Each structure stands twice: as C-alpha cells, then as structure tokens.
Amino acid sequence: MAYDESTAQNIRQVLLDKGADFTEKKMFSGVCFLVDDKMCCGTHIDKKTGESLLLCRIGEAAYENALEQNGCIPMDFTGKSMKGYVFVTEDGLHNAADLGKWLQTLSGF
C-alpha cells in the first residue's frame, strides 16, 4: 500500500487538533481515516501517475462546487466516479492551509 506518509501525518494532526475520535484503515491502495466508523478522508499514490492524492468525502451537495476547485478531480477507482467523493491532486495541496481547507469540507465531520 503506497501513500505519502507526510500527508497522512498532516491529516492525523488536523484530526487530532479538532478532537476527532478517528481510526485508520488501509484501503483504496493507501490509508483512509474514519470518524464515527465512516470514511472521511485518506491518501494514496496514484499507480498511473505516481502522484500523491488526497481522498475527501465531501457529500453530494458539495460535489459539483468542489470539482471547480484547483486540483480537484472525481474519485474514480472502477471507471465510474463516486458522487460525494473527490480526489485532490498535488496541484490543490501546496501547503498545510490547503489541506486544512479540504478537510473542513468533509461530510459528516
């Protein structure tokens, strides 16, 4: 399972700072973070591009608007995108503030 440990550690820190009760689970070829036993975010390395991706569960209501943001693409593992879930590419994650912005959009958190 390939993922960027630095991104994973930054996610952990944001969740800890928010006082979230979270768990980690290896899935989607990386690591996902669950809050209240529901997947909220994660990270993995795209096998085709070698790029680190942030996975965000943002909910269907925020989905279309999120896709207009820099570096945001539909989550697509099987050839069909999953509404309510997006990937954020490295173009959308330049610093900790960008990560924090995306983690603020998480559905159910």
| Segments making up each domain of the chain, as ranges | 5-104
pLDDT at 64 over 90: yes
Per CATH, which fold does 5-104 belong to? Aspartate Aminotransferase, domain 1 (3.90.1150)
Q: pLDDT value at position 27?
A: 87
User: In b/e form, how buried is each residue of 60-94, taking b as 16+ CB within 10 angstroms?
Assistant: eebbeebeeeebbbebeeeeebeebbbbbbbebbe
Over residues 39-45, the mean pLDDT reads 92
pLDDT at 48 over 90: no
pLDDT at 76 over 90: no
Give residue 94's pLDDT band: very low, low, confident or very high (50, 70, 90): confident
Taking Cα atoms as reference points, which of 108, 90, 107, 102 lies closest to residue 14? Answer: 102
Give residue 101's pLDDT band: very low, low, confident or very high (50, 70, 90): confident
pLDDT at 22 over 70: yes
pLDDT at 31 over 90: yes
Over residues 5-11, the mean pLDDT reads 91
